[in-house]
Structure 1
Amino acid sequence: MLSSKGLTVVDVYQGWCGPCKPVVSLFQKMRIEAGLDLLHFALAEADCLDVLEKYRGRCEPTFLFYAIKDEALSDENDCFSHGKDDGDNEDVVSSEKACTLAIIKPDAVVHGKTDEIIMKIQEAGFDLLANEERTMTEAEMRLFYQHRAGEEAFEKLVHHMCSGPSHLLILTRTEGAEDVVTAWQNLMGPCDPDVARREQPDSLRAQYGTAMPFNALHGSRDSEDARRELALLFPSFKFSDEVPKSPLGWPRLRITDSDL
């Protein structure tokens, strides 16, 4: 199995703990989407395999990744380009496409809608460069929403965003006439879920939002906003003037070895 072309993911577990069942379901869905020949998934009990002895006695999920080069997975011109930064010796990966920030807010996460929303995002033609679950701090959210500090609902918004875990996504698009920020704004729909249900009933906020500020999702307003928000919430993703900008002036994301 490990010699098969494509990507093989091994879920290493122990008998007293068992495999990570939610991840098993997730990878099954991903296999169907990516293609059965490109993504492989296996379970391995560390207690039964001497080669996995070093993973015994751990309570956190452990995943091993094995990649065998395949043309379908190695088109460097499609998504990423590799190179050296003249300023240091780090290997870097630079996104060749525009990117924007999306947040699945605590109200959608607590209702168990995260996986469903992510699937709809991908079905709409978006690619995920990052997906991180995080509970925001009050300081982060006050800085994040500083442009709304004078609004009456500011305190309620900050409190909501700190009330539980959110999912932070970095989105790009594989194709389409719309830029990624506009496309994501259109998929989300109007900010107020009630307005979204009247005007764009198929939008994500119409489907998953309830009432302000519980509108399920956040998206950057424009390219400059995307750059500011990504720099704030993903400081390890470095923007560099040495990475050329796209014709529309969108930011490009550079990911270092430490991020991977």
Structure 2
Amino acid sequence: MPDNATTPVPAAKPDSSAQKASPSYRLAALDPDFLLGDSTRGARFMLEYQKAEDHLRARGILSTIVVFGSARVREGQPWYEAARAFGRLASERGGALAPGDLGRDHVIATGGGPGIMEAANRGATEAGALSIGFNITLPHEQEPNAWSTPDLTFRFHYFAMRKMHLAMRASALVVFPGGFGTLDELFEIITLVQTGKMRPVPIVLYDGAYWKALLNLDAMADAGMIRAEDLALFCYAESPEEAYARIVEGAGDNWRPATEDRVQT
């Protein structure tokens, strides 16, 4: 080696901190940026289905009575107290109090919010029964009401998946007066039944005066937009007892304990 040559100094061995800090190194299941990204929307949709489904099956929920109505109705108002009374008597008579290992039928299920939803969940809880709250994330945060069973209280991002869970176990729908959201749920179920995508279930509109003033569905039949017999897809009730009687009458032989095959979609 020439006298003027220098001995190379070996480069310091780098550590792997930069690699470990990179978002690409995160486990996919623990990477919030990836999980909440556009490309994983389908996976999030599937997870919203599966998480609620696992909890419902663990509690033996075979069928539900879905109760909808305005979130703006408050305790002490007639519609609130009627929904509360209905939630209680339907839970006492419908099978929601059965031991869990036998499966629970006709469990009260609501959108999980305040107003009519709170009242129905409250009535079920006062009867000693489980009840379900399918809540939704909204721009103006909606708190879950305090009366749904805690481990059967869910929060959804996607309206479509929330609607699917409301519909797939429904053995009846009772619709109290409400606004756009209530109408959305009402027509969702009516359309599914009308088109044969869902088995026929009793659909009860509570307080006929409200609904008849709001909706002139006879005009749709007169114009040929629906069949005349489609008007029989729903009925009216004026008291909690009548609402429950309408359900039992409308369901006929189908008002019986659900079986596992009825839950599948």
Specify the TM-score bucket, using the shorter chain as the normaliser: under 0.3
Higher Rg: 2
TM-score (norm 2): 0.27
Q: Which structure's residues are more often helix, by fraction?
A: 2
Q: Which structure's residues are more often strand, by fraction?
A: 1
